[in-house]
Amino acid sequence: MSYYAIDLFSGAGGLSAGLESAGFKIAYASDINADMCKTYQYNHPNTVVDQRDISELTWKNIKESTKLKKSDIKLISGGPPCQGFSTVGKKDESDPRNKLFVQYVRIIREVNPDFVIFENVSGFKKLYQGRAFEAVCKEFRDLGYTINNKILNAINYGVPQHRERTFIIAHSKKLKFSWPKKTHGTENKNDLFNENLKKPLTLEDALGDLPLVESGKKNEHYSSSPKNSYQKKRRKNCNHLTEHVGPRHGESLLYRIKLIPKGGSVLDLPEQLRPKSYFNNTYARLLWDKPATTITRNFSTPSSSRCIHPFLNRGLTTREGARLQSFDDDYVFFGKSKSSKNLQIGNAVPPLLAHNLGREIMSGIKS
């Protein structure tokens, strides 16, 4: 028996990659961004990928392209952007910023799957004085679903990165659901002494087999054989690297980066070299023996996030960012610019986290 899913606001396909490895067949995916759709289609060749505004999407579109019945669809996943909730609770539902959430619910209502995954930022429950969270829960309850919500940290599921996201799981009342059990701890002392949890993965664990490239330089050859199971799984059968090019920085930025010590930040720069305004976690080095901080779209831009390589004077390469998000090395990203590719990676749900969540949903469906 096949278990089909639909991925809306699918991005580059991180969530789908994890769900597929958990046993789902992603029948249909939709996103409005052309580069993301191209990336998704290449890496998920058996999925119908539709670049479309969700307000124009209907079940008829999905049915005609997939040849499936509504009863075949067991899961719909997606995370409407935060801006789509700015007017939740107000009367004007025609506001374009509000339509993404409204249209997402409309598709769920049309299809009526057994499970729904709703994913958003860690602070979603407090967004707009809590109106957004309450609106999502109310809509799902009105559709007859049982609601579960939790903030999951990707580091607890084998991803070498601190990354908290809010997940709301809605499911048919006749089915059961349990949150995935943690497999890895954090640097928290209680976790470190918990024999049931593995140690959190570090940058060295994730990137230790990649060649050291300087700013503006490229290398397509691994520096060694895989040193651990994480590297081995990410490499699969890859014989050469892609997207491993050191970000090209100007002389002024390179000078500043060279002054940043181990684990340091903008606060370690002389006053005259600091920007007029800044966040304390900018111009900051990651630590080789620690997990990464949250990977954002700006992971190659030292002025915007903590993304300077632990001992090289540059931001992270596109492949390093993908590794820290748990994408496999054969995952290809399309886009005319590095910023487009990095956006796709930084906005993605880590496949490993999605895999763990997908296994529990699959278990609930089969039960």
Catalytic residues: 82
Beta strands 164-172 and 115-121, pairing class: antiparallel
Q: Tell me how far apart the alpha carbons of residues 282 and 269 are, in angstroms, rounded to a whole number.
A: 11
Distance of CA 133 to the CA centre of its chain: 20
- Contact by Cβ (8 Å): 184, 198: yes
Question: Which residues fall within 8 angstroms of residue 219, CB to CB, at 6 or more apart?
Answer: 211, 213, 241, 244
8 Å CB contact between 326 and 352 = yes
Tokens of 180: 């995935």
Q: b/e string for 83-105 if b means 16 or more Cβ within 10 A?
A: ebbebbeeeeeeeeebbbbbbbb
CA distance 308 to 318: 13
Closest CA to 111 of 61, 149, 55: 61
d(CA 261, CA 69): 58
Bridge partner list, 166: 120, 151
Residue 62: both structure tokens together? 């999905």
User: Measured between alpha carbons, how far is 72 from 16 in angstroms, rounded to an integer?
Assistant: 17
Stretch (H or E) spanning 204: helix 203-207
